[in-house]
Amino acid sequence: MLLVITYSQAARQTLRNVVRANESAVRRRLGRAALFRETELGAFLALRLREKHGGAVQIERTGPFNEFEDVPKAVYEAAVAYENRERPSTPYAKFAVGRPHPAPEELRDETL
Amino acid sequence: MTLGADAKRRRANGEGVATTPLRDHVGIVEDGMALSIRGALASAARSLGHETPADDRIAELRAALAAESVPEIDLSGARRRVAETSGEEEALRERVASLRGRVAALRDAGIDPESAREALRGATRRLSEVETERLAAEQALDAARRASRATRDRRERRLRREDRLANAERRARRTLADGIANEFERAVAIVPGAGTVGSRPSEFEGDAVTAALAVVRVAAVADPVVLDCRRFESTAAARACLDAPVVRL
């Protein structure tokens, strides 16, 4: 999907109008951002927005996120284990100590 | 708050912080007109010299927004460069592959492949150059994207400020309109035409012309109001009722 984010009142208003007028092309509106279908029409609408409002419009491309394909097993397992911890007040950094889970510093700048 | 001569004149026309000139609302009163009652009343209140506690804040926000300029972000050049070099690299890879094939085919056929081999060497060199160019283009785009993040942060802050300004202006208009609600209600009863005012001035039921006439009566009007409606017997009667200079069509 195409993620369109607006950064000005004018761009936000145009986005609102585009979303209203093109229900079939827009999957989701999230305030001043929206997810467009990844079709030529979606791209056309997104590019029109950027042509009109320049840097006040950001366009990114998103894709389905599959935690079993896109993420190392250790990261997935750490997330699940941490959310099922016994003591809710334990911060993750402490939780990871003595367990086979990556420390926050290891996770921080490691690109997927 | 002291005003310069220019600001005084605008104030007299109902234009002020968060309000537009009175004539934009009721400069022409004609049948079938549309009227934003809150906006019109807010302008009328300004013409009477009314102020609100939000005025200074609004002026501050406006000045801060006007003084700031956020640089434009345009990464299209960097993106185009990546697309161009990637495309060229792709084409060269295919050329190298096909030249390799040709060299092998010539050899197998017992023909001297030297000129094909030379072409292959040239293409391989060029591919290596273009590969480097493509990597450089990608790095440049990455760097430009990172840099644009900070500009986007500024734009976000600016947008929040713009929203705060819009809210403050709306609050100011409401305060101004509420401030002359009683005068408006009395004026509606006096001017010709039917209309009732609800608990808030914007809750008006009735003809927009009636409301507009009432606004004119309440306001301090400097420039003549144009009347294109059949409410008054004479221009003099209109002037007297509306307490304003009037031109009838």
Q: What is the pLDDT of residues B195-204, one digit of tens each?
A: 999 888 778 9
Give the Cα separation of B227 and A35 in Å (integer). 50
Interface test with B, best of A9, A14, A50, A111 (most B CBs within 10 A): A9
Q: Which residue has the tokens 């994207």?
A: B145
B203 touches chain A (CB under 8 A): no
B31 touches chain A (CB under 8 A): no
Question: Which of B155, B163, B166 faces A56 most closely, judged by CB atoms?
Answer: B155
Determine whether the interchain pair B159/A55 forms a contact, defined as Cβ–Cβ distance below 8 Å. no
DSSP line for B54-91 = THHHHHHHHHHHHH--PPP---HHHHHHHHHHHHHHHH
Q: In chain A, which residues have their Cβ closer than 8 Å to the Cβ of B169?
A: none
Q: pLDDT tens string for chain B (249 positions)?
A: 455 677 667 766 777 788 888 999 999 999 999 999 999 999 999 999 999 999 999 999 999 999 998 999 899 999 999 999 999 999 999 999 999 999 999 999 999 989 999 999 999 999 999 999 999 999 999 999 999 999 999 999 999 999 999 999 999 999 999 999 999 999 999 999 989 998 887 789 999 999 999 999 999 998 999 999 889 999 999 999 999 999 988
B 44-103: CB under 8 A from A: 70, 72-74
A92 touches chain B (CB under 8 A): no
How far is the alpha carbon of B58 from chain A, nearest alpha carbon, in Å?
17
How far is the alpha carbon of B63 from chain A, nearest alpha carbon, in Å?
17
Ramachandran assignment for B28, one of left (phi > 0), alpha (psi -120 to 50 degrees), beta (any other): beta
Cα→Cα distances B186→B154, B157, B195, Å? 49, 44, 11
pLDDT tens per residue, range B1-44: 455 677 667 766 777 788 888 999 999 999 999 999 999 999 99
Determine whether the interchain pair A7/B162 forms a contact, defined as Cβ–Cβ distance below 8 Å. no
Whole-complex ipTM: 0.84
A51 touches chain B (CB under 8 A): no
